[in-house]
Structure 1
Amino acid sequence: MAAHDVTPNRSVLLDLKKRIKLTQGGYKILKMKRDGLIIEFFEVLEKARKMREGVSSDYESAMEKITIARAVEGEIAVKSAAYALKADPQVKLGSKSIMGMMVPKVEAEKIHTNMVDKGYGVISTSAYIEEAAAAFEKLLDTLVRAAEVETTMKKLLDEIEKTKRRVNALEFKIIPELKEAERFVKFSLEEMDRENTTRLKHLKRKGAAEE
């Protein structure tokens, strides 16, 4: 809003005062939201760091155990156990609120399977295959939880950037423009008051001279 685009009158001045008050209130709320989101982001960032370490560690462990199982039992035995698996892991997607923003909630189901769902018997497989299977189940569970944290972190970062843009727009553009318009209207009204006062004095002097 350019200051000279407004009509300098009392009602406009009152409207500007109201708008400035409301805008400043919204600015304070957005700043609080931005600060809260930043705090939440760093907490999630720390979780993400730990989750990445967990994924790396679980991956190395799973690859080590599957390598041992292949070396001891052979490729065919390992693949046979994998193909016999009856379990059907599921990923359940939901949502939760953080600072009024919806973020994904990811839950894994049927990852850790019992012996019946594995589809193969204890006798027909060795401890090496069981350990490899358990390691990959653990890795899958960690990956699912990591996916939730990583997605939440990205959404938080996007929301922070969006909120920062709105805060900056209010602080450096909208509020200064409203205040400039208010100053212009005040100055114009004061000028009109001075002109009216001068005109009245002139008319009084003229009237007195004519008497």
Structure 2
Amino acid sequence: MASTRVNPTRMELTRQKKKLMSATRGHKLLKDKRDELVRQFMDMIKENMRLRLKVEEGLKRANREFAVARAGMSEEVLNTALMANNKSLEIKQDYKNIMSVDIPQFCAKTEIGGRDIYSYGYAFTAGDLDDAVYSLSNVFSDMIKLAEIEKSCQLMASEIEKTRRRVNALEHVIIPQALDNIKYITMKLDENERSTQIRLMKVKDMMLEEAVEARRKEDM
């Protein structure tokens, strides 16, 4: 139902029609944006699931190998070997804009001192520790990518929800309200026009009656 605060004037009718046109155009654009966001979100969800399974499997493998290495080495030797570190890690963050959403992109740069990824000597460590370190090193890049995808999914989900609320507001509130206002103003303008025509017809009839009466008096 149209708001009683709407003035039934032609200027207001023009304003409501422009509002309806803008709301209809915005509704279509936001709906297209929502559909595209959902499509890309589903692709990210699939990639996220694939990476998560891969990372979990890699971490399970590394944990099993660390458990085997711990069983074959003394705790002091294992802790000393793991505390030795010849690697430095730098993670840079950049952004990629997808449908007005700034998606993070992580770039990990690892510098290794020495000849390889093993920062400890081989004399007192077991070969199982080498396998565990190697397995953990292989899964590291996937862990960075997984963090990037999961954060992207969170941002995309938030934008989808925001866009969905805007689409619903336009579809169920603003557009119907504008249509009701246009209908109400049009009805009032038509009523005013009919009332004006009736008044004009009555005035014309009165003038004709006066003219007839005046002529009759002249004839007398």
TM-score by length of 2: 0.88
Which amino acid in 1 is paired with 2:19?
R
Q: Corresponding residue for 1:133?
A: 133
Which amino acid in 1 is paired with 2:8?
P
Q: Counterparts of 1:76 and 1:61 in 2: how far apart (Å)?
A: 23
Q: Counterparts of 1:175 and 1:80 in 2: how far apart (Å)?
A: 70
Structure 2 SS opposite 1:158: helix
Q: Corresponding residue for 2:74?
A: 74
Structure 1 residue runs without a partner (length 5+): none
Please give the residue correspondences for 1:63-102 in structure 2 after superposition, counting only pairs within 5 Å: 63-102=63-102
Residues 37 and 99 in structure 1, CA contact (< 8 A), matched pair in contact too: yes
Cα offset for 1:72? 2.5
Q: Counterparts of 2:42 and 2:114 in 1: how far apart (Å)?
A: 38
Q: Corresponding residue for 1:187?
A: 187
Cα offset for 1:193? 0.5
Structure 2 residue runs without a partner (length 5+): 212-220
Q: Corresponding residue for 2:60?
A: 60
Q: Corresponding residue for 2:166?
A: 166
Deviation digits for residues 110-134 of structure 1 (CA, Å, limit 9, x no counterpart): 1777635643345564432221111
Deviation digits for residues 78-112 of structure 1 (CA, Å, limit 9, x no counterpart): 22221111212222222111112112112222177
Residues 72 and 126 in structure 2, CA contact (< 8 A), matched pair in contact too: no
Which amino acid in 1 is paired with 2:176?
P
Please give the residue correspondences for 1:97-136 in structure 2 after superposition, counting only pairs within 5 Å: 97-110=97-110, 115=115, 118-122=118-122, 125-136=125-136
Residues 84 and 119 in structure 1, CA contact (< 8 A), matched pair in contact too: yes
Structure 2 SS opposite 1:105: strand
Name the count of aligned residue pairs. Answer: 211
Q: Which has the larger radius of gyration?
A: 2
Cα offset for 1:183? 0.7
Gap change, CA 1:139 and 1:76, over 3 Å in 2: farther
Q: Corresponding residue for 1:17?
A: 17
Q: Corresponding residue for 1:143?
A: 143
Q: Corresponding residue for 1:8?
A: 8
Q: Counterparts of 2:155 and 2:113 in 1: how far apart (Å)?
A: 33
Q: Counterparts of 1:114 and 1:57 in 2: how far apart (Å)?
A: 29
Q: Counterparts of 1:77 and 1:60 in 2: how far apart (Å)?
A: 23
Q: Corresponding residue for 2:178?
A: 178
Gap change, CA 1:93 and 1:114, over 3 Å in 2: farther
Gap change, CA 1:111 and 1:184, over 3 Å in 2: farther
1:44 partnered with 2:80: no
Cα offset for 1:49? 0.8
Gap change, CA 1:111 and 1:186, over 3 Å in 2: farther
Residues 86 and 113 in structure 2, CA contact (< 8 A), matched pair in contact too: no
Residues 88 and 110 in structure 2, CA contact (< 8 A), matched pair in contact too: yes
Structure 1 SS opposite 2:104: strand
Q: Counterparts of 1:140 and 1:114 in 2: how far apart (Å)?
A: 20
Structure 1 SS opposite 2:7: coil
Structure 1 SS opposite 2:4: helix
Which amino acid in 1 is paired with 2:195?
E
Gap change, CA 1:106 and 1:113, over 3 Å in 2: farther
Structure 2 SS opposite 1:89: strand
Gap change, CA 1:53 and 1:117, over 3 Å in 2: closer
Gap change, CA 1:132 and 1:47, over 3 Å in 2: same
Deviation digits for residues 48-75 of structure 1 (CA, Å, limit 9, x no counterpart): 1111101210111100111122222333
Which amino acid in 2 is paired with 1:77?
V
CA RMSD of aligned residues (A): 2.0
Cα offset for 1:202? 0.4
Residues 4 and 181 in structure 1, CA contact (< 8 A), matched pair in contact too: no
